[in-house]
Amino acid sequence: MQQHILRNKNKIVLISGVLIVLGFLSKRTVSNLALFEGALITASAFGVAPIAIQAYQALRVKVVSIDVLVTIAVVGAFLIRNYEEAAIVTFLFLFGAFLEQRTLNKTRSAIKELTEMAPESAFKQREDGEFVEVEVDEVDVGDVLLVKTGAKVPVDGHVIAGEGSVNEASITGESIPVAKEKGSKVYAGTILDNGTIQIVADRVGEDTTFGKIIELVEEAQDSKSEAERFIDRFAKYYTPAVLVLSFIVWLFSRHLELAITILVLGCPGALVIGVPVSNVAGIGNGARHGVLLKGSEVVSDFSRLQTMVFDKTGTLTVGKPTVAETAYYGDNIDEALGYLASVERESDHPLAKAVLEAIGETQYATVEETEVVKGGGIVARVNGHRIAVGNVALMEREKVELSEKARADVARFEKNGNSLVLTAVDGKLKVLLGVRDQIRPGVKEDLRKLERLGVKNLVMLSGDNQGTVDVVSRELGLTEARGNMLPEDKAAYIEHLIKEKGQVVAFVGDGVNDSPSLALANIGIAMGGGTDVAIETSDVVLMNSDFSRLPHALGLTKAIARNMKQNIFIAVGVVFVLLASLIFSDWMNMSIGMLVHEGSILAVILNGMRLLRYRLR
């Protein structure tokens, strides 16, 4: 029966609310007191049932919870026939708990999605040299595997034959595929975009990098238990004090009504609903402004934030490489751009796509005698001209002379964190393009807002090379930036900040590879346009990947924390005033006490509702 009642708490809230409304309508419209009291008594009985069960369960483990507080209040209200108090307190308490739980129910379901992304099969080489498809669990260290275009790499290993381009976004979070050749390392869960490679398995199963990502998320979620609500900690001492005071008054005065009055006045609805009202109003404000705060537990840590750590790609940057800088040399540039576009159209590399987008509409020509130069680029013949497209090494191989200006441009482009695309026509340099991932518009201003809100350290962690990371860091004015970091490196860094330095840390990311750090951080913040795993592992979600919502989210949680403290102060202050007046004066009675009591409930509700209008100044 207990489990049935607890499972149907939401239905009980609805029934209780309807009965309260019907009761007050009957009193106002037809002045039917019997119907009024009957509806409120029924609403109270329905509402107190799950609360009393939870109070009993708490007392069994020697915990005086807020449920005990509410149960005593309702029983006391019944004893003095104050059915309005009993019905309203139970309804508001259950409704506040429902709104908070509804937000929390969307979290902590990331493990299943992570495991579904893991590779399931592999092509394993038999003794006769043939490759057969087997379950990934059948692969052992030292086995030779074949990976074809579009397939997931099944294990961590190194390439022994073939070449290809691997999308490592699931591991490093970086959008640009990485060229692989003999001797290159590959990771389980990454995808071979083009080419065919043979690899030797170095790590398999749970020992792979992807397996460790899953393990880190599981461990972090297991260790991240729900924080005990402040009001429960307060009630742990406050409730027994009120009970003892009420019993002492009855013991010495033998005045049961006075003792019950103390018990009721000492258990204000304002204390019960003050914190939930602040949380619900704050969560509602966040939802309207593109910020999903997953429950009241988030607010305390977020409002005390000291260090904010960011992933780079897709968080501080757009996550899509584009042409950022251009330089042209000599004449007939439009013709050279047409040749470049014709050659790049033959490639599916992300840099080629970025170049084509930058050139736009042009005159394409037939590409012949295409030669892919390993680690350099492409050489082809277009309209009788020899076209070389690639890096500086390819230009040197083709004996393309770079002028002083061109060399200066190359150095400047590289310093700015660009990947270079040079184009030569018949041995003459014509075009230099710098391709890089662009910083999100407005991010720099948003970071300054975070600093004004009290964030002391702004740190960036990235799987990209240190040079590119340093360029972004300088432009954004970050406190620290670290490159060449795998997911386990990021997670270890977060753990170091929290456990060894004692900092309150938030991590902002958007990829599967960010999940361990999101789960380990005090506050995990996911970009809403990222993966479902990152979103569900996090505590805060910025919907539509709108980075500008981050300062609003931080400012909002600080406002919620202040508002909760104000409501607690109002609730407790009113209780002390009521109890003091009851004991030390003659003018305090039940009617006045209830009037003030209801006024305090109205005060905390109105104070909490102010959060609905909160905007970051």
C-alpha 132: how far from chain center: 41
pLDDT at 533: 54
Amino acid at 398: E
Q: What is the pLDDT of residues 523-539, one digit of tens each?
A: 988 876 544 555 566 78
Q: How far is CA 443 from CA 294, 465, 530, 531, in A?
A: 24, 21, 17, 21
> In this structure, which amino acid lies at residue 520?
L
421 Cβ neighbours under 8 A, 6+ residues apart: 351, 355, 377, 389, 390, 391, 431, 432, 433, 434, 435
pLDDT digits (tens, 9 = 90+) for 320-361: 788 988 999 988 889 999 989 998 888 766 678 889 988 888
- State the pLDDT at residue 218: 54
Secondary structure class of 319 (helix, strand, coil): strand
Mean pLDDT of the 184-211 span = 86
Radius of gyration over alpha carbons of the chain, in Å?
33
Ordered strands of the 540-542 beta sheet = 291-293, 540-542, 523-527, 505-509, 307-311, 457-461, 480-482
Provide the residue type at 354 as one letter. Answer: A
* Residues 607/567, Cβ–Cβ less than 8 Å: yes
Q: What is the pLDDT of residues 260-290, one digit of tens each?
A: 667 666 665 677 677 777 877 787 787 677 7
Strands 523-527 and 505-509: parallel
Best-predicted range by mean pLDDT (96-110, 197-211, 238-252): 197-211
CATH architecture classification, 118-220? Distorted Sandwich (2.70)
Beta strands in 391-544, from DSSP E residues, in sequence order: 419-425, 428-439, 457-461, 480-482, 505-509, 523-527, 540-542
Name the packing angle between helices 83-104 and 269-288 (round to 10°). Answer: 40
CA atoms within 13 A on the CB side of 51: 32
64-73, 281-290, 490-499, 589-598, range with the lowest pLDDT: 589-598
Question: CA 51, CA 2: separation in Å to the nearest integer?
Answer: 11
Mean residue pLDDT of the chain comes to 80
How far from chain centre, in Å, is Cα 213?
16
Tokens 């590119």 appear where?
468
pLDDT at residue 159 in the model: 93
| pLDDT over 80 at 378, yes or no | yes
Neighbours of 397 (CB within 10 A): 15
31: left (phi over 0), alpha (psi -120 to 50) or beta: left
DSSP string, 536-584: HH-SEEEGGG-TTHHHHHHHHHHHHHHHHHHHHHHHHHHHHHHHHHHHH
Tokens 């346009």: give the residue. 529
- Average pLDDT value for residue range 13-37: 83
Question: What superfamily in CATH does domain 319-438 come from?
Answer: Calcium-transporting ATPase, cytoplasmic domain N (3.40.1110.10)
Q: Which residue has the tokens 């960010």?
A: 514
User: Which pLDDT belongs to residue 424?
Assistant: 93
293, exposed or middle or buried, with CB in 10 Å at 0-12, 13-18, 19+?
A: buried
Angle at 283 between CA 448 and CA 445, to 5 degrees: 10
Segments making up each domain of the chain, as ranges = 1-105, 118-220, 227-290+558-617, 293-306+441-545, 319-438
Which letter does DSSP use for residue 176 in this model?
S
Q: Give me the pLDDT at residue 227, please.
A: 33
Which tens digits make up the pLDDT trace of 179-188? 888 888 888 8
For residue 476, which amino acid is it?
L
* Cα gap 419→207, rounded to integer Å: 33
**What H or E segment, with its residue span, contains residue 301?**
helix 297-303
Per residue in 579-603, pLDDT (tens digit) is: 788 777 777 655 566 567 667 877 8
- Beta-strand pair 156-167/185-186: antiparallel
CA angle 367, 368, 369 (to 5 degrees): 140
Tell me the whole-structure pTM to 2 decimals: 0.62
Alpha carbon of 447 to those of 41, 315, 455, 476: distances in Å? 54, 12, 9, 8
As a whole number, mean pLDDT of residues 240-269 equals 73
Core vs surface per residue 339-376: b (16+ CB within 10 A) or e: bbbbbbbebebbbbbbbbebbeebeebebeeeeebeeb
Whether 311 is catalytic is yes
* Residue among 156, 311, 437, 546 flagged as catalytic: 311
| Position with higher pLDDT, 449 vs 231 | 449
Phi, psi angle pair for 587, to nearest 5°: -85, -20
Task: Report the alpha-carbon distance of residue 104 to residue 131 in Å, rounded.
Answer: 47
Stretch among 64-73, 87-96, 292-301 having the lowest mean pLDDT = 64-73
From the number of C-beta atoms within 10 Å of its C-beta (0-12, 13-18, 19+), residue 226 rates as: exposed
The number of helix segments (H) and strand segments (E) in the chain equals 23, 20
**DSSP structure class, residue 206:** G
Tell which CATH architecture fits domain 293-306+441-545. Answer: 3-Layer(aba) Sandwich (3.40)
pLDDT reading at 448 higher than 90: yes
Map 358-409 to HEC letters. HHCCCCCCCEEEEEEECCCEEEEEECCEEEEEECHHHHHHCCCCCCHHHHHH
Q: What gap in Å lies between CA 197 and CA 149, rounded to an integer? A: 9
Single-letter residue type at 477: G
d(CA 191, CA 165): 9
Reported as a pLDDT band with limits 50, 70 and 90, residue 51 is confident
Task: Round to whole Å and give the CA distance between 560 and 281.
Answer: 9
